[in-house]
Structure 1
Amino acid sequence: MNAIDAVGVALPRLRISADEVADVWGRYSGAGIESKTVPTVDEDALTLAVAAAESALSRSSLDPDDVSTVCLATTTPPLDAEEIAPRLVRALGLPTSTSIRTFTQSTLAGAQALDSGFDAEGPALVVAADLPRGDPASADHPFGAGAAAFLLAESGSVERLGSTSHVDELAGISYRERGSDELTGLDITSYERRAIRESVTSAVEGLGADPDAADRLDVDITDVDGAAVFQPDARMPSRATGDLSIPRETLARGTVVDRIGDAGAAGVPLGLAAALDAAEDDDRTLAVFFGSGGGATAMLFEGRVDSGFDAELDGGISVTYPEYLRERGYIGTVDVAGGGAHVSLPAWQRSLDQRYRLAAGRCPECEALTFPPEGACRNCHRRIEFERVELPRTGTVRAATSIGHGGAPPEFAEQQRRDGAYDVAIVELEHKGESVTIPVQLTDANAGTVELDDEVRAVVRRLYEQEGVPRYGVKFAPVDDRR
């Protein structure tokens, strides 16, 4: 049976404090939240999922080619009627035979994805990524963003001891109307608290009665060392477990909403990542998921694994409230005139390995590298069939300049409106004694702050939309990307 072999997390680098929001509105509708993460214009559920998955894969000795199943959970997919898991598989360079399973609709999606990954035949990659939105005057106050990825394999160090669910019709606590991108709710506080508490209690108590886990659950189910519980705000974990008497210090180990905000379907997975990072080898960790309209799921784990949560959390960059509104696309509009660099979908499809994986070509005659791997060898000028080579994902800046307001091509006008001026650079990538230089867009850095000879790394980000379809590819960020 699969166990957790590695965990990775991804958080946007931008942060806004609760005080900053309260200064504007005179209040803050996010109990106990001190600050929250702010996704930028080129970050969405897919890019956060890619970053978290890359982190998990880098922490494991498992060959990515051995991953048989990818389970993705999100309530905020880039497109409502298009599967995004294949993009995740492609961006990570996983086999095209990888089985994909996507879970949406409610914050229970994270539990459903984990259940599916544990039940999979062979190694599985489970990723929960979310960035909910709401009315900026009220519902949006607690919303943050983030992603957590779990690599599951027989060799994993964290065993899942049991999983049980309580299913009920609990409509209206949190929902998104068809055609809208903003979450809302019925604002019936007493109904919400009772529904969540009763569902959580039933799911957790069910663990002790789980016939598949009864021989292992030989202690009081509430006598655990850490707990990650449904957390739309910082008060909810203790309120949701009010009938279970779980100590506050136990809940604190898996509570992250106070520092990153409500991350939707990724909230409990991120809390679980933090709790497993702080655990001892024989500690038990409880994870409890809740979903509007569905009920609750409880899981019990034993063991520990590094996730790097604290390192990912440290060093964020603060933004003002007007900057926050622009980054999230709440204010301003852009009317783009002109065509820009139109790239047809067939041509884009043919170049995906270059855009995601930095796939270059090695000349079999002279060993020189060519990027993109098309046409003749750049060194000997022979027209040959290139040998595929994936370039390293770190390189050195050899030239850089800033694109100021009004200077962006039409396809990047929306990015510039929300994110301001940005840098482009020539980056040198070396592979086995050979090198190539490629033009790239820089991200995760203020314009003009990246200098010659700086080291940068490839990150998958949203590039632009064409004909209503988002397009993704590699940008480069400073290796010290918290500037």
Structure 2
Amino acid sequence: MNAIDAVGVALPRLRISTGEIADAWGRYSGAGIAQKTVAAADEDALTLGIEAAESAFARGSVDPNGVSTLCFATTTPPLDTEEVVPRLVRALGLPSSTMTRTFTQSTLAGTEALDSGLDADGPALVVAADLPRGDPASVDHPFGAGAAAFLLAETGSVERLGSANHVDEFAGISYRERGSDELTGLDITSYERNAIRESVTSAVERLDTDAGVDEFELSAIDGAAVFQPDARMPSRAVTDLPIPRDALARGTVVDRIGDAGAAGVPLGLAAALDAAGDDDRTLAVFAGSGGGATAILFEGHVDSDFDAELDAGSSVTYPEYLRERGYLGTVDVAGGGAHVSLPTWQQSLDQRYRLAAGRCPECGALTFPPEGACRSCHRGVAFERVELSRTGVVRAVTSIGHGGAPPEFAEQQRRDGAYDVAIVELEHEGESAMLPAQLTDSETGTVEVGDEVRAVVRKLYEQEGVPRYGAKFAPVER
């Protein structure tokens, strides 16, 4: 059985004060939330998941090549009908033999992915990433974004002591109609609260009976991450349970990031385990519209640096928030842009995700992309595949303003405004190569020649309705 070896967290850089939303609408429908994270135009569930997973690998003892199972949880996949997990496998450099599982439709997806990974045969990676959307006038008010990744192995420091479920039909609490990308609900407050409270209570109480957890006393719980669509729900959900309030506070993060859907409880769990001691017990309780609840009890501590990730960010105004979320304005694109066929795109994935370059067997120089003749000795050779460093130095930079971008980037410009493009120098074992790339997670014009930047996988653009991803570069201080 696996345990948690490492945890990674990814939160969008942009944040909005809920006071901004209240000023715009004269009210705010997100009880107890002070600020929330805002996904930028080039961020989605996949890119957030990749960033969280990379953070987990950097902290853990498991090499990406050793992962046997990948479980991904989200209610907002980039496409409703197309697997997203193969993109995650390719971007992280996992083996093509990796067993993959996708969990969606409900906020219970997070617990389904985590339980599946803990039960997997061999090292596993579990990623929960989400950015729900809704009517900007009401339902959207509490929605934030984020991702948590759990690297699992037999030698992990956080052990699962047991898990228990409560299954029942509680429809209409939160749902998305077929063909829509926005969540809604029936807005029957008392029904919703009772359904969640009864489900949570039953699942937690069964930890003692069904899961057989020894010496299980709720009053002795050190941390608890409970279903959190707003900041009031965790305490309301456990009204019938003697869980200490300070334990509940340890795993409540919605007040600072907003409702992160299927990633909400995993992010709360990451924060709680970061604050835990080696012998502390932490409870994670997931609930989902139409499906009941699941409770998992853990023991141990693992670093996630949740607070450090939370502290890195910059504020946006409400109009900027609407643009970033894609609610404001329309885009009229003239021309077709640079059409790159899917077969051609497929051939360049390792370059776009993994920064794969070619080393010349004759002179040792690096060529990027690894095509044609060596850029140094100009010989036609069979390049040796190498991966460039994911941190590099800006050697040239310029800004692309409105009207200056290729048509495929018009939607990004509508939401993000002008963007910077740089020539970045990357090294590998003493040799270097240069490549052009977009900059992200920075204000236009703030990155200068000589600055250090790091590669992040982000959405580039859509072609024929299919999103395409690749490396951009962000300042290292992010």
Secondary structure, aligned partner of 2:220: coil
- Which residue does the alignment assign to 1:30? 30
C-alpha contact (below 8 Å) 2:9/2:55 kept by paired residues: yes
Aligned pairs for 1:99-138 within 5 A: 99-138=99-138
- Paired with 2:136 and 2:244, the residues of 1 have a C-alpha distance of 34
C-alpha contact (below 8 Å) 2:221/2:244 kept by paired residues: no
Unaligned stretches of 5+ in structure 1? none
Q: AA paired with 1:136?
A: P
- Which residue does the alignment assign to 1:69? 69
Is the aligned partner of 1:81 residue 2:81? yes
Point out the more displaced range, 331-340 or 305-314: 331-340
Point out the more displaced range, 90-99 or 333-342: 333-342
Q: AA paired with 1:239?
A: R
Is the aligned partner of 1:316 residue 2:283? no
- Paired with 2:430 and 2:48, the residues of 1 have a C-alpha distance of 33
Is the aligned partner of 1:240 residue 2:237? yes
- Paired with 1:94 and 1:367, the residues of 2 have a C-alpha distance of 27
- Which residue does the alignment assign to 1:276? 273
Relative to the length of structure 2, the TM-score reads 0.99
- Which residue does the alignment assign to 2:186? 186
- Which residue does the alignment assign to 2:421? 424
- Paired with 1:333 and 1:346, the residues of 2 have a C-alpha distance of 31
Q: AA paired with 2:186?
A: L
Is the aligned partner of 1:199 residue 2:196? no
Relative to the length of structure 1, the TM-score reads 0.98
Secondary structure, aligned partner of 1:161: strand
**Aligned alpha-carbon RMSD (Å):** 0.7
- Paired with 2:2 and 2:244, the residues of 1 have a C-alpha distance of 30
Q: AA paired with 2:471?
A: V
Secondary structure, aligned partner of 2:235: helix
C-alpha contact (below 8 Å) 2:166/2:293 kept by paired residues: yes
- Paired with 1:202 and 1:361, the residues of 2 have a C-alpha distance of 57
Q: AA paired with 1:325?
A: L
What's the offset of the Cα at 1:222?
4.3
Kindly tell me the number of residue pairs found equivalent between the two proteins: 478
Q: AA paired with 1:13?
A: R
Is the aligned partner of 1:163 residue 2:160? no
- Which residue does the alignment assign to 1:298? 295
What's the offset of the Cα at 1:219?
3.2
Q: AA paired with 1:160?
A: R
- Which residue does the alignment assign to 1:209? 209
Is the aligned partner of 1:56 residue 2:53? no
Q: AA paired with 2:2?
A: N
Q: 2:432 aligns with which of 409, 414, 435?
A: 435
- Paired with 1:234 and 1:222, the residues of 2 have a C-alpha distance of 21
- Paired with 2:359 and 2:209, the residues of 1 have a C-alpha distance of 59
- Paired with 2:408 and 2:417, the residues of 1 have a C-alpha distance of 14
Q: AA paired with 2:154?
A: E
- Paired with 1:61 and 1:249, the residues of 2 have a C-alpha distance of 31
What's the offset of the Cα at 1:220?
1.3
What's the offset of the Cα at 1:463?
0.3
Q: Deviations over 1:341-369 (max 9, x none)?
A: 11000000000000000000001111010
Is the aligned partner of 1:474 residue 2:471? yes
- Paired with 1:433 and 1:304, the residues of 2 have a C-alpha distance of 38
Secondary structure, aligned partner of 1:378: coil
C-alpha contact (below 8 Å) 2:5/2:61 kept by paired residues: no
Q: AA paired with 1:310?
A: D
Q: 2:263 aligns with which of 262, 266, 275?
A: 266
- Paired with 2:158 and 2:255, the residues of 1 have a C-alpha distance of 26
Secondary structure, aligned partner of 1:62: coil
Q: AA paired with 2:64?
A: P
- Paired with 1:128 and 1:62, the residues of 2 have a C-alpha distance of 19
Is the aligned partner of 1:403 residue 2:403? no
Unaligned stretches of 5+ in structure 2? none
- Paired with 1:18 and 1:354, the residues of 2 have a C-alpha distance of 40
Q: Percent identity?
A: 82
Q: AA paired with 1:158?
A: V
